[in-house]
C-alpha cells in the first residue's frame, strides 16, 4: 500500500488501470493503454492493478466494476472512468486534466 501511495504521489500524471484477468473489456483495454504509453512516453505513468490480487486497494478506491481507470497527480485523484475508452479519449483526458 505504501508503495502504491509513493507511485501516485508524483508530478507526472499516473493512470491506474484497475482490471481483472477474466474481464473481456479489460483485455480490450490492454493494447489501448500500450498505445497511450507509446504515444505519451514519459509524460504519463501507467499502473495496472489486478483487483483480485489487490482487494484492499480496490475497496479503498471503491472499484465496483472493471476496467476502472483512475488518474492521479500529486497523490490526488483528478479523474475516474469505468469501461473502455479509445486511445485518443484517454490521451485527451490525461492532457486536459493534468494541466
Confidence of residue 1 (pLDDT cuts 50, 70, 90): low
**pLDDT tens, 26-63?**
999 999 999 999 999 999 999 999 999 999 999 999 99
The count of structural domains within the chain is 1
Give the structural domain span for 83: 2-97
Question: Is the confidence at residue 2, as pLDDT, over 90?
Answer: no
What does the pLDDT read at residue 32?
A: 98
Radius of gyration over every alpha carbon of the chain, rounded to an integer in angstroms: 12
Q: What CATH number is given to the structural domain containing 41?
A: 3.40.30.10
* Active site (catalytic) residues: 23, 26
The dihedral sign for the CA sequence 1, 13, 33, 43: negative
What does the pLDDT read at residue 76?
A: 96
Q: pTM, whole model, 2 decimals?
A: 0.95
For range 89-93, the mean pLDDT: 97
The dihedral sign for the CA sequence 85, 66, 75, 7: negative
Amino acid at each position: 500500500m505504501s508503495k502504491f501511495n509513493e507511485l501516485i504521489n508524483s508530478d507526472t500524471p499516473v493512470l491506474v488501470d484497475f482490471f481483472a484477468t477474466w474481464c473481456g473489456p479489460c483485455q480490450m483495454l490492454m493494447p489501448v493503454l500500450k498505445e497511450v504509453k507509446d504515444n505519451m512516453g514519459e509524460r504519463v505513468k501507467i499502473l495496472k492493478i489486478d483487483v483480485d490480487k489487490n482487494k484492499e486497494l480496490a475497496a479503498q478506491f471503491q472499484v465496483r466494476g472493471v476496467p476502472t481507470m483512475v488518474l492521479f497527480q500529486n497523490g490526488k485523484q483528478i479523474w475516474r472512468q469505468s469501461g473502455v475508452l479509445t486511445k485518443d479519449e484517454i490521451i485527451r483526458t490525461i492532457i486536459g486534466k493534468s494541466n
